[in-house]
Structure 1
Amino acid sequence: MNISSIVVQVRQEYVEEVVEALKTADFCDYHFHDPAMGKIIVTVEGKDVGEEIAKVKQIQAVPHVVSAEMMMAYSEEELDAERSKLEMGGPNVPEMLNDDSIRAEDIVYHGDLKKMDL
């Protein structure tokens, strides 16, 4: 399951009309709008990114919508994949970071832990 927030931009004179259209739409959930800025916040859900993109296109097709863009996204599949990596050992952690005898203040970071021999 994927969930993404969408910022919809509308000219001020059409905000209320577009808000009503989005509130009754079956392809998104309305959350907030700022009439002075012409911005509307909605979320879309989909089984994958393709389904989410299709819903964004539906929002973009609503009359008077100037733009509708994804701002934040959550992908359950990606989260599960990252959790699996961590459970299976994930990336190697430099031994120095697991050594309780070394004080954190004594660790010098040079920009890339993967290429450093700590």
Structure 2
Amino acid sequence: MQNNFNPELGNWYVASLVLQVRPEYINEVKDKLATMPYTEIHGEKPDDGKLVVVMEADKEKALVSKMESLQTLEGVMAVSLIYSQRDEIN
């Protein structure tokens, strides 16, 4: 995850998600996640097709857009929001 946060931007949004992926697509999905800024895989069960992902953004709409984009990845069957938080910087 990149550490380019600018505190002058205001709030910081964080979401934890569980992705259910067809096991044969797990590596492709992991590769796509690796290209997304402020996105990390924190856990995985490849045989079960499960990934625990944390996403961050400086704007709520940007975070929602990133989460919605996960549903379009080939092999992703479900995206479940587990936790979300807004940190007020200023």
TM-score range normalised by the length of the shorter chain: 0.7 to 0.9
Q: Equivalent residue for 1:47?
A: 58
2:45 to 11, 30, 34: 34
Over aligned residues, Cα RMSD in angstroms? 1.9
Distance 2:72 2:38 in 1: 12
Q: Deviations over 1:68-113 (max 9, x none)?
A: 1211112113xx8xxxxxxxxxxxxxxxxxxxxxxxxxxxxxxxxx
How far 1:52 moved relative to its partner?
Answer: 1.3
Q: TM-score, normalised to structure 1's length? A: 0.57
In our comparison, the structure showing a higher alpha carbon Rg is 1
CA displacement at 1:12 relative to structure 2: 1.4
Runs of 5+ unmatched residues, structure 1: 81-118
How many residues end up aligned between the 2 structures?
A: 78
Length-normalised TM-score, structure 2: 0.72
Q: Which of 52, 66, 82 is 1:71 aligned to?
A: 82
Shift of 1:38: 0.7
